[in-house]
Amino acid sequence: MTAAVEIAGITKRFGEVVAVDNIDLQIDDGEFFAMLGPSGCGKTTTLRMIAGLEFPTEGSLKIFGNEVGTLPPNKRPVNTVFQNYALFPHMSVRDNVSFGLRMQGTTKSEANRRAGELIELVQLTGLESRKPGQLSGGQQQRVALARALVNKPKVLLLDEPLGALDLKLRQEMQNELKSLQRELGVSFVFVTHDQEEALTMSDRIAVMDKGKLLQVGTAEELYERPLNRFVADFIGQTNLLDATVADDDMIVLGNGTKIKAPNPHSPGTKVAMSLRPEAIEIGRRGDVPADHVATSLNGVVSAMNYLGHSLVYQVKIDWIDLEVRTDPVASEDRLGPGDDVSIWWDRTADWVVPDE
Amino acid sequence: MSIIEQTVDEPIDGLVATPEFEAANEAQQRRRGFLMALPAFAYLILFFAVPLVIVIVYSFATRNRFGGTDLNGWNLESYRGLGDDLVRQILVRSVVLAAITTVICLLIAYPFAYYMSTRRPAVRNLMLVGVMIPFWTNFLVRNYAWYVILGTDGPFSQVTEFVGIGETRLLFTQTAVVMGLVYGFLPFMILPLYAAIERIDGRLLEASRDLYANGFQSFRHVLLPLSMPGVIAGSILVFIPSLGAYVTPEILGGAKTTLLGSYIVTQFLSARNMPFGASLSTVLMIVMLTATLVYFRKGGRTL
């Protein structure tokens, strides 16, 4: 099967600045694909290159097998939902939505008919004659969707489409976008800096930082098996402990403690061990089960917070503060600040990543 | 207009303003605003409104045999003179030249303003200064410069001769007048166009390209309609002074191509027919006023 989008060795430089640094990426047909990273990581530039709004400095970019490297945007079978929507303020909702069809030479009546269908699909029937300025943020965002989808793009590109909406509306739109994508079966390529958004909506996620593609995978893969420190830190919450590899089964933490941690790295490699807060068990000093001694540490509780569905402890281990999340227990069984404790985890719970 | 609307004081949160307090406050603000505008008002009334009224009054008066004006026996005689063939010829010629000037200015200024608005701020400011530099020199002097440039054996002619087009005699032609007018009023086209284009969100153009518009369609359906306020403002700012231009046609057009401005001056100074000159002026003003009103009706806000 040909990939919807195939990026090979793409680099984009703006003068001295390298916005996108030699990335390879494949986006499958019908996939909900997210590009995730902090602002300035190159995700939007990558999206704009797929759209044709920027041309790559180097590398190859194919859409359904056709090289589109320097093809202008109007010659590509993709459409974009822009950040802040970029609706044409001087046109009605109907004219905004039918714009793409009219530019391709579809007759006015046919264009209007199909625009009407899309307007119905995004539930804006009745607002056809309004100008974008007379619509709420959520409605504008639906117009932007309809305006792009009316052209039946082979790939739909979305640049932080939910960024301008308030939380409740955002969650609503997340679900709608997801079901729309399933219904249409078109690949959605979605740029966001919100990891939760990416995790909930996407089939696969590409994590980018400083122009580099760090990892591509499902939400589960990224969360449980991050390839490096940045991904481990960026996806979900985690505790990162600096360490050095002793052998393929043992690492030495910063304070000299030896911890059993299977890893593929060569001895002496600087690594970080990622421990998710919910993967750590906590108990009074010495309560460590015998089979977990090799994966345990001693510490002192410095704070405890009750969050309803969980308890969060801050535990001071010598040189570092760790966050530990447990199920809520009766108040007399809770540990308090100052208590000497041990923490331990399953041997499969930790994950060692190269420290870079 | 919109500036005034935006600066209306918003009540500060937490301070409870009683209706009486608000009313008193507003009245005080209004008084203070009036006092500050008083010098400008006085100046405008004295040196603009009063002369305007005099012109209008004179247009209904009668020229006496000695070239003076009798301020009695009001009549429409001077307005009847507008139907005169010569006058009509001058009127048409003036309107045509002003229209040509406006169109040429628009064609030159639009790409320039677009280019300018897409540059980075430092370059932009440099270009803006470039547009303004001619204003540092007296308008009359600049027109005489064109007189020299276009004159027989002047630099322009030398260049055309050099590139093989042959000697050109442009001075004292309508072409020379249009060239001078375009040169003189181009900044008035560039500035409002720049202000209008610069305000347009560049992503709208990207969006249009993404939605299958080619470069021309993108211009035709997005850039042009959104920059229309600038187009209209610039056109009015060029058309109106071109229509009544006096200095440029006088210097570059010679006697053969009398335009409205020169003709009005002639009525006042040489023909000593003040009522007729006044009626011409009044008609010219009405035309300009109508054009301006049309502009504001169209919703332009950039003047």
Q: In this structure, is residue B66 part of a structural domain?
A: no
Q: Structural domain of residue B154, as residue ranges? A: 82-297
A14 close contact with B: CB closer than 8 A: no
Question: How far, CA to CA in Å, does B182 sit from each of A210, B120, B169, B177, B228?
Answer: 51, 27, 18, 8, 20
Min Cα–Cα distance to chain B from A74, Å: 4
Query: Which of chain B's residues have a Cβ under 8 Å away from the Cβ of A82?
Result: 203, 206-207, 210
- Judgement on whether residues B247 and B141 belong to the same structural domain of the protein: yes
Q: Are B87 and B204 contained in the same domain? A: yes
Same domain, B128 and B38: no
Burial of B10 (0-12, 13-18, 19+ CB in 10 A): exposed
Residue-by-residue pLDDT tens, chain A, 356 positions:
689 999 999 999 999 999 999 999 999 999 999 999 999 899 999 999 999 999 999 999 999 999 998 899 999 999 999 999 999 999 999 999 999 999 999 999 999 999 999 999 999 999 999 999 999 999 999 999 999 999 999 999 999 988 878 888 888 889 989 999 999 999 999 999 999 899 999 999 999 999 999 999 999 999 989 998 999 999 988 999 999 999 888 899 888 888 888 888 889 888 999 999 999 999 998 889 988 888 999 999 999 998 888 999 999 988 889 999 999 888 878 888 989 999 999 988 888 888 76
CATH number, domain with residue B167? 1.10.3720.10
Check whether residue B156 and residue B253 sit in a common domain: yes
Looking from the CA of A177 toward its CB, the CA atoms found within 13 Å total 32
Q: In the structure encoding, which two tokens stand for residue A2, read together?
A: 């040909």
Per residue, the 3-state secondary structure of chain A, as one string, reads CCCCEEEEEEEEEECCEEEEEEEEEEECCCCEEEEECCCCCCHHHHHHHHHCCCCCCEEEEEECCEECCCCCHHHCCEEEEECCECCCCCCCHHHHHHHHHHHCCCCHHHHHHHHHHHHHHCCCCCCCCCCHHHCCHHHHHHHHHHHHHCCCCCEEEEECCCCCCCHHHHHHHHHHHHHHHHHHCCEEEEEECCHHHHHHHCCEEEEEECCEEEEEECHHHHHHCCCCHHHHHHCCCCEEEEEEEEECCEEEECCCCEEECCCCCCCCCEEEEEECHHHEEEEECCCCCHHHHHHEEEEEEEEEEECCCCEEEEEEECCEEEEEEECCCCHHHCCCCCCEEEEEECCCCCEEEECC
d(CA A154, CA A6): 13
A204 vs chain B: nearest CA distance in angstroms? 25
Whether residues B188 and B292 share a domain: the answer is: yes
Q: Are residues B164 and B242 in the same domain?
A: yes
Number of domains in chain B: 2
Considering only CB atoms, B206 lies closest to which of A53, A104, A148, namely: A53
Domains of chain A: 5-229 (3.40.50.300), 237-354 (2.40.50.100)
The answer to whether B221 contacts A89, with C-beta atoms less than 8 Å apart, is no
Q: Do B225 and A79 touch (CB under 8 A)?
A: no
